[in-house]
Amino acid sequence: MTRKSHNKRVALFPGSFNPFTRGHQRIVERALSLFDNVIILFGININKPETDEAMQAELASVKELYASDERVSVEAYKGLTVDAARDFGADAILRGVRNVSDFEYERNMADINMKLSGIETVILVAEPQMALISSSMVRELASYGADVSDYLPKK
Ligand code: ADP
């Protein structure tokens, strides 16, 4: 019997990652028990070119975070997630949920992406200690000079 065991299972983790938080980091870590590779995909927002420079800097720092882990790669993409999934040869889209409002959004996206290309979305439920961490909260706290190191990736 032919086994496909040599085929690597690849998850595509798309997001804004503005910034990439410890919550995102845990999703990647946990997904590595389900997939051989995780591609972290920074979505380029064509309507917000002014954020591009900040995104490039964040992308560089996430690349550095995973520099020694060859299971994880970091990319940027302008366009639909389903097109990125095809281009990068991903088997599934990876997302996280923290609460019911995340869930409503995520189930819509999963449904749309399934209809567009037949790709599955794997949604991991945030651990309780991660559920209150959001990029927008980190941005807000940081803008007032608060220490946000607890919410950012552990090196
Ligand atoms: P987007 O703008 O595409 O929602 P985000 O960077 O905000 O991008 O989030 C990317 C994914 O990570 C989303 O599925 C989001 O629900 C999930 N996520 C964000 N923060 C956390 C967290 N603390 N724990 C688990 N999942 C999270």
- Give catalytic status of residue 135 as yes or no: yes
What percent of the chain stands above pLDDT 90?
A: 87
Element (H, E) at 31: helix 22-31
Residues with CB under 6 A from ligand 1: 15-17, 21, 23-24, 27, 95-98, 102, 106, 126, 130, 133-135
pLDDT band per the 50, 70, 90 thresholds, residue 6 = low
Q: Is the overall model pTM greater than 0.75, yes or no? A: yes
> How confident is the model at residue 154, as a pLDDT?
84
Instruction: Give the list of residues 6+ apart from residue 6 with CB closer than 8 angstroms, or none.
Output: none
> Band of the pLDDT at 2, cuts 50, 70, 90?
low
Give the mean pLDDT of 118-122: 98
pLDDT value at position 38? Answer: 98
> What residue type is assigned to position 68 of the chain?
S
- pLDDT for 1 equals 54
- Catalytic residue list contains 6: no
Question: Could you identify the atom of ligand 1 that is nearest to the CA of residue 133?
Answer: 23
**Spatial distance between the Cα atoms of 101 and 40, rounded to a whole number of angstroms:** 23
Q: Which two tokens stand for residue 28?
A: 């990647």
Residue 48 falls in the annotated catalytic set? yes
Q: Is the pLDDT of residue 149 over 90?
A: yes
Average pLDDT score, the chain: 94
Catalytic: which of 22, 26, 95, 135? 135
CB 117 within 8 A of CB 86: yes
H/E element, 52? helix 52-65
Query: CA-CA distance, 153 to 142, in Å (whole number)?
Result: 15
Cβ neighbours of residue 122 closer than 8 Å, sequence gap 6 or more: 11, 31, 34, 92, 93, 94, 95
Which ligand 1 atom is at minimum distance from the Cα of 102? Answer: 16
pLDDT tens digits for range 67-80: 999 999 999 999 99
What's the pLDDT band for 3 if we cut at 50, 70, 90? low
Residue nearest ligand 1's atom 21 by CA: 23
Identify the active-site residue in 6, 16, 24, 136.
24
Whole-number pLDDT of residue 44: 85
Q: Cβ contacts of residue 90 below 8 Å, gap of 6+?
A: 10, 11, 12, 39, 84, 119
